[in-house]
Structure 1
């Protein structure tokens, strides 16, 4: 005849498994996972996650337990798993709210905020004019350096050195000074 265990005995069995799994006992870890897998799965399903999301949450919960097994109260491992599973489910749901999958190319045409502001082109043109004027106020050598560095693809340092007559080791520091001067000119 099968022996019926009291709830306290079940809890102490689970606590023993947690302690043994924390000590590196692979068999105890497997039995612990077997013992609580249905609980973790039930919590994920209560959040109505897709099967793949529920499986991801389940794996993340077991990973979290593995990471924190020596800090979890062995007598309360079931409660810890429920709380951790709920938190992981909420994290997945929050992420899913930010991601909108669509197959229609026109799905975002009417979404507010996707359209540029009416004066965006005008402001971009004015900003480009400001940058052009600031560049023209730099010394010719600096203009040439920035032009070669901004080319697509940028010129190799060896070519810049040969063309402008700047040592290769000085190109980076001079570029930094050029950009700082441009920032100051554009800020004023």
Structure 2
């Protein structure tokens, strides 16, 4: 069923249509929320807020086929709003990249892991915008469909795989230049 039909039916109260919309686009919303490195609870709040905004605007969506873009934009705005809220509430001595080691885990291992993660995030941040957006969208668990990524990023489906490969190559180069060897890559 196409998005126009699903939106129209959901606006009339069709629960099955609403569930189909959620199933179709949930991974897209989660991939965007996770790309902003929100906690699981904050990401869940963002996703829930986006669904609520869609419910509030079901009858006002002018171009239903552009719904993935609307959902993506709304999710990004909510993520930024959530990050500002979290930043206001964060204690002054809290460090973004530091995490507590798991019980029994050596502090050295936790520090090395944090350092590796920080280096990878810096390498990702140095990539061109289109690469950052694509790789973040594809990092979701479970990964979104190429159709959802295509709609959200306004990118032809056939170019997602090759672009992903080029972007990963650039990420490897930048990570290698920053001191991460091939043995550090998963």
Q: TM-score, normalising length from structure 1? A: 0.47
Q: TM-score, normalising length from structure 2? A: 0.47
- Bigger relative contact order, structure 1 or 2 (CA pairs below 8 A, ≥6 apart): 2
